[in-house]
A and B are shown apart, each in its own frame.
Chain A
Amino acid sequence: LAHGAGGKATHTLIEAVFLEAFRNPMLEPLEDGAVADGLAFTTDAFVVTPLFFPGGDIGDLAVNGTVNDLAMCGARPRYLSAGFILEEGFPVADLRRVAASMAEAARAAGVWIVTGDTKVVERGKADGCYVTTSGIGTLDRPVRLSAASARPGDAVIVSGPIGEHGITVMLARGELDIEADLRSDTAPLNTLVDVLLDACGGADGDGSGDGGAVRCLRDATRGGVATVVNEIAEASRVAVVLDEDAVPVRPAVRGACELLGIDPLYVACEGRMVAVVAGDSADAALAALRSHPLGSEAAVIGRINDDPPGLVLLRTSFGGTRIVDLLVGDPLPRIC
């Protein structure tokens, strides 16, 4: 596998356009947030249809998303900004609802929304309401977590059952007429990260291995766990080997995924993270995560191998080894 499946083929728009235009050492690693001078900084734009869905809405999604990106850097989330693009005619009542849930989410995560901006565009130029949040966190711990830090022998842990957010939103669009007992998993993960780092410590990023056991944290948002572990495999030049039977998926999600023909590994979560920790600390990490309500169903789902670098493999229930590749676009059947 001189070239590996992925690599050039999976150059995203981000790399092709923005990394090229903005190139600088802080952007280069393409982590969830940038880290410098004791601060972590991140931004995220939120578009979701529908705006309101079981378990959440675009408001708490926008707050939790940015809080989580900061938490994944090992930072303590502090201050958020919020930008709104509203379509002319967007109901004020809905806007109030969004604002209220943002306030509630900020309170729950212990952050302040300290600045913002609002623009209204003509009807048809936007779909209701878009929200952009940016956030600043402080690096209170001497950790440097990175997707490039995974090493052979490490364990891959997911903090809870996957795919609930993505499937909930898909069903909430109402086109499928399917009843399912599902709620979005949207949640702030900062206190869960605290518990984990308190128990195991975080890598210091100098590659010496004398830091803590947690190498990398990623929230499994767009593209789901599959995309996150592919990014880790690529950045660390390691193989991620997942165990199909070990991946926690709630029956309702599994059922909907089966109906829709979707692999839960690719479905977005908004309150789940993937942690790569040193193999000998896997039990401690798991115990720590499970002590927190958001991590009660955490599970080791795989491990890091040295070969084949850059690829994610899934050991299937049958004992086969399937490649879990980074998708270039929407999943399309490949079978002829």
Chain B
Amino acid sequence: MGTGRARARIRVRIRVEGIVQGVGFRPHVHSLARALGLSGWVGNDDRGVFIEAEGEPGDVARFQEDLRDQAPPLAAIHRVTATAIPACGDRGFRIAASRGGTRRFTFVPPDVATCDDCLAELFDPADRRHRHPFVNCTNCGPRFTVIRDLPYDRLATTMAGFAMCGECEREYLDPSGRRFHAQPICCPACGPVLRLLDGGLRGEGSPAHGPDAGRPGHGHASAPGLCARNGSYAHGPDLRTRNGSHLRGPDPRTPDGDGSHPGRPGAGPDGGADPIAAAVEVLRAGGVLAVKGLGGYHLAVDATDEEATRTLRSRKHREDRPFAVMVPDLSAARALCELDAEGERLLTGPQRPIVLLPRRPGAAVAGAVAPGDRRLGLMLPYTPIHHLLAAELARPYVLTSGNLSDEPIAHRDGDALSRLAGVADAFLTHDRPIHVRADDSVLLTVRGRTVPLRRSRGYAPEPLRLSPPARRAVLACGAELKSTFCLARQGHAFVSPHIGDLENYETLRSFTEGIEHLRHLLGITPALVAHDLHPEYLSTKYALDLEVPGSVELTGVQHHHAHIASCLADNQETGPVIGVAFDGLGYGTDGTIWGGEFLVADLVGFTRAGRLAPVPMPGGAAAIRQPWRMAASHLRAAYGDTLPGDLPVRARHGSRWDEVVAVAGAGTNSPLTSSAGRLFDAVAAILGLRDTVTYEGQAAVALEQCADPAEQGAYSASTVTEGSLVTIQAADLVRAVVEDTRAGAAPALVAARFHNGLAASAARVCARLGEDTGLGTVALSGGVFQNRLLLERLVAALRLRGLRVLTHRAVPPNDGGISFGQAAVAAARDTL
């Protein structure tokens, strides 16, 4: 090599930021560099990926272009910066060791469904990972739920306790392979062990028990567990983990450490059986199977088995709320539901959410799976365990979160085994700990567009763009139900996975611990803390408790402003817009409860420009659980003393009706609300669809499902204007519902005309506000916009009036999106 050529070489130091760890980025860089004959290295640190590359100027330039343009499928590059440094004449391109550090500017990758390559290995009898329940690679597998710390390295994950075998180590170190630095790499020889444990429900009248049920010689306490590192054979008597610690059984007193391992000491071998086959036997026999998934335990039953599904409902104390169903593949999904291209794309995407789809008439699932719902929540397998189960069972199975009623999903082994002991007949579990809880995500499609209902596993904590960026770091504490929190730094907002209802202590702990964990991972120390205005939200109280003088600055964000801000930020806009926030309830600035609001809003602030006419909620929260109370209140507002006595909703409640009307009249524990959600409740009760609910939104869903989408008729509602506040007279709609029903109109038509009427009224108010303010864009948010019919009608009506419409894309319109909206508001206010 001549000196002239050596002088021509240049060297650059490149930094790549974004989701670049745990996604096969370094081998990708390695192969790009090799292809161009560059020397240098690539490595991970706590800001992302660092590269030094040296070669001829043209090649180096090409390399930089390729870096930007050809990222691996799971990577998301946010920024590439390069500086020239002196060439040093090194040879070869290598992958350097990870560098730790104190600044944390990297991102945490979400979990990824098993990729096609791994799937092929899983079902290839010749592959060494044939039926290995933990097969994964740099393109797939657990991430967020196993990461304890960053940078993303095996030792910082819950795989730290598993020593790689020689063959896995070779793959791990081979830059040309799919498993180069695949942190959770393992195989049947060295990975976690899958096993089936008896749930201990024997003799309690359950239809099926563990596979060892009834086998002589096994008392409850010594019931054997089946185990295998490979789904195709039983592993024998060794019930120790890789690192030699004894496995522990479902003992409620077992300390619930992250590293605890399920199992039973001294359990004997169970020759020949394999845990997957045995688990499938449990399902086939109508039993309830607990399955350890990515973000927690699920409960499974055969979805075609009515009896088993009912058993699961009663044991879980879940009366009506629909269960999600896992189907083996797309063709099985098509057999149950109508699928469009968007639905297929979502079902098969690497996030593998639950997709709510229109159910085919006569779809072969038990009625108890989703009672009274014309839709079905489907998902495809996303872990090798799910794939093995699905392949063996060859039937759809219910897969619902492993918890009782309102508790958070169980994710630690000891906790799951004790909490689900009365629910599951058997546990399909393993000894790879789950570090972070993550529920399944839920999406809906509306005319080819996605409406997220719950953004969790597979999506969180991938950052969302924040514009304007946060000048100082933000923590947004969210709402109360469907709670999430959000951490924001500069242009990135990290929304937590779905957490749940904070009133439950386990959930509140999940919230506070989740904040600490993500704060630590991301290295974010919030200077601004955003919270709801509701004084009784536990998230508000949490925020107020953080305010030690001089520590953080608090900023209160009105609930519906946060909804509209979340929709703005979701569309990377800053407003001002006309915001329509229709939801259940949120604390208003006047101390009443809002929920049918028209705001003129930007990210910084808002004015309330319109609302639905407020009515009392007789008995406060009782009126949420009992929609007929809202019917009583709305009918009282619409008719006063002239309400027809023979109205069925009234007749159904006898003397209780008058008592509730009196409570509303006296105002005792009856806060005023302008809520749209409560109006839906009232109409659902008037139509006789639901008098009481067992989960939030149930009556509104029933009303939507009842409505005939072909019906174009609409009730009309007048408006009154006091000062600058427009009020839609909900009483007009209520009277129309009553009179139409009394005239003999079918509920399907009444429900549709109500939807259409509310949409038309809302569109009219928006148009008027548009004229008054000169604004041409409307943002729609709030839980009521999970209602597909209302959303479609309102979007169409607004467009017809020449208004531009913003709807949600990445975060849900319900309260799961509140934290993101709060963060956007806090960041925008901080730029003032």
Seen from chain A, the residues whose Cβ lies within 8 Å of a Cβ on chain B are 1-10, 170, 173, 175-178, 258-262, 308, 311, 313, 318-323, 325, 327-336
Residues in B with CB closer than 8 Å to A7 are: 545
Given A9-B544, A320-B406, A320-B504, A336–B479 Cβ distance below 8 Å? yes
A261 touches B669 (CB 8 A): yes
Residues in A with CB closer than 8 Å to B593 are: 332-333
Residues in B with CB closer than 8 Å to A5 are: 508, 538, 541-542, 545
Residues in B with CB closer than 8 Å to A261 are: 618-623, 669
The answer for the CA separation of A325 and B593 in the assembled complex, in Å, is 20
Most chain B CB neighbours (cut-off 10 Å) among A9, A177, A311:
A9
- Smallest CB-CB separation from B584: which chain A residue? A336
Select one of A176, A178, A262, A327 contacting B536, CB under 8 A: A327
A258 touches B508 (CB 8 A): no
The answer for the CA separation of A117 and B404 in the assembled complex, in Å, is 59
Against A, the Cβ 8 Å flags (1 = close, 0 = not) of B624-668 are 100000000000000000000000000000001011101101101
- Smallest CB-CB separation from A262: which chain B residue? B669
Against A, the Cβ 8 Å flags (1 = close, 0 = not) of B580-616 are 0001111100000101000000000000000000000
Given A3-B546, A335-B585, A336-B583, A259–B659 Cβ distance below 8 Å? yes
Give the 4 A-B CB pairs with smallest separation, nearest first: A261-B619, A261-B622, A175-B666, A3-B545
Residues in B with CB closer than 8 Å to A258 are: 622
**CB of A188 to closest CB in B, whole Å:** 29
Q: List 25 contacting pairs A-B, 8 Å CB cutoff, sorted by A.
A: A8-B547, A9-B541, A9-B544, A10-B541, A175-B665, A178-B662, A259-B619, A261-B623, A313-B505, A321-B407, A321-B505, A322-B503, A323-B502, A323-B505, A328-B541, A332-B587, A332-B593, A332-B620, A333-B585, A333-B620, A333-B624, A334-B621, A335-B621, A336-B559, A336-B584
Residues in B with CB closer than 8 Å to A308 are: 505, 509
Select one of A8, A323, A330, A331 contacting B538, CB under 8 A: A323
A9 touches B540 (CB 8 A): yes
A334 touches B480 (CB 8 A): yes
A335 touches B542 (CB 8 A): no
**CB of A263 to closest CB in B, whole Å:** 9
B534 CB–A CB distance under 8 Å: yes
Q: How many residues in B have their beta carbons less than 8 Å from beta carbons of A?
A: 62
**CB of B545 to closest CB in A, whole Å:** 4
Residues in A with CB closer than 8 Å to B407 are: 320-321
Against A, the Cβ 8 Å flags (1 = close, 0 = not) of B496-527 are 00000011111011001000100000000000
A319 touches B504 (CB 8 A): no
A318 touches B503 (CB 8 A): no
Residues in A with CB closer than 8 Å to B620 are: 261-262, 331-333
B482 CB–A CB distance under 8 Å: yes
Residues in B with CB closer than 8 Å to A259 are: 619, 622, 656, 659-660, 663
Most chain A CB neighbours (cut-off 10 Å) among B506, B508, B660:
B508
A1 touches B663 (CB 8 A): no
**Extra contacts besides A5-B542, A334-B534 (15): CB < 8 Å:** A1-B508, A2-B512, A173-B666, A259-B622, A308-B509, A320-B405, A327-B536, A331-B620, A333-B617, A333-B621, A334-B537, A335-B621, A336-B583, A336-B585, A336-B586
B505 touches A336 (CB 8 A): no
B505 touches A322 (CB 8 A): yes
The answer for the CA separation of A211 and B584 in the assembled complex, in Å, is 53
Against A, the Cβ 8 Å flags (1 = close, 0 = not) of B471-484 are 00000000111100
Residues in A with CB closer than 8 Å to B538 are: 5, 323, 325
The answer for the CA separation of A104 and B685 in the assembled complex, in Å, is 52
B535 touches A328 (CB 8 A): yes
A335 touches B624 (CB 8 A): yes
Most chain A CB neighbours (cut-off 10 Å) among B504, B545, B660:
B545
**CB of A309 to closest CB in B, whole Å:** 13
Select one of B503, B668, B671 contacting A176, CB under 8 A: B668
B783 CB–A CB distance under 8 Å: yes
Residues in B with CB closer than 8 Å to A320 are: 404-407, 504
B90 CB–A CB distance under 8 Å: no
Most chain B CB neighbours (cut-off 10 Å) among A10, A311, A318, A321:
A321
B345 CB–A CB distance under 8 Å: no
A328 touches B405 (CB 8 A): no
**CB of B542 to closest CB in A, whole Å:** 6
B317 CB–A CB distance under 8 Å: yes
**CB of A266 to closest CB in B, whole Å:** 11
Most chain A CB neighbours (cut-off 10 Å) among B547, B593, B622:
B622
- Smallest CB-CB separation from B404: which chain A residue? A319
Q: Which of B741-782 contact A (CB under 8 A)?
A: none
Most chain B CB neighbours (cut-off 10 Å) among A2, A5, A6, A10:
A5
